[in-house]
Amino acid sequence: MKRARGLLVLGAVLLGVIFMWGRLVDRMIFHPTAGADLRPEQVGLKGEDVFLQTEDGVRIHAFWLPAEGATRALLFLHGNAGNASHRLPNAAQLVALEAHVLLLDYRGYGLSDGRPSEAGVYADARAGLAHLVETRGLEENRIVVFGRSLGGAVAVDLVQDRNVAGLILESTFTSVADMIRSLLPPAAPFVRGRFDAESKIARLRAPLLFFHGDRDEIVPYALGQKLFEAAPGPKAFETLEGAGHNDTTQVGGRPYFERIRRFLDQAAPG
């Protein structure tokens, strides 16, 4: 009896350690900012706030940014910090490419409820795609998913075995373990399996366009190349010479957006 009780206590302690470790890793990965510091009209956009219900019952926020006359859409999945409103200036440039944009706030970010977690942000992305199909009436093959940084790993999880028109991955890594390995090798085994885009990307059926700055100080350029090598075709990799992690649009300039337009025109012709 005492031995059984001791095993139960030990099991409870181990479960508690695993739970607390998971929470600690989440706090290392996610850096949300609450609220909305910008509105669509401040960047010249007509837009509206939409609130979506995820499959696990969390109410999340997104900006719906329509492009007049467009028949295609971008689902934009941002990185691990800030909130969706900080991406509105970038979204305005994407709307100008004749594509509607749904700019998602993950749970715990911006105007969304909840607390971010890996499983949670995957569910948020699925809710965003469902909104485009079920509420906006778009076919999956008229939707391109755009994932930046952490959002790239979310995008890969979302579109595996789906019939979306295409996938754009920018400044994206292979896995959190590879990221940690490049910074603190002894800690890598403790985050194995977290945001493991490399293990999923072979299941993609959509055309792929990669962007990565060769001076990225957060996600090593080599990890972007490694993810590209693991991906099926058709695919293309664009090196943004002189770009770091957070200045890709500025350094890339007009050629960067023209490359996105060409990809959109091939994947989901207007």
Q: In total, how many domains does the chain have?
A: 1
> pLDDT per residue over 208-258, tens digit each?
999 999 999 999 999 999 999 999 999 999 999 999 999 999 999 999 999
The range of the structural domain enclosing residue 225 comes to 2-267
Instruction: Specify the residue for token string 């337009």.
Output: 261
> pLDDT per residue over 161-171, tens digit each?
899 999 999 99
**CATH number for position 154:** 3.40.50.1820
Comparing C-alpha atoms, which of 191, 184, 239, 187 is closest to residue 216? 239
> pLDDT per residue over 118-142, tens digit each?
999 999 999 999 999 999 999 999 9
Length of the chain: 270
Compute the Cα dihedral for 161, 164, 57, 78 and give only its sign: positive
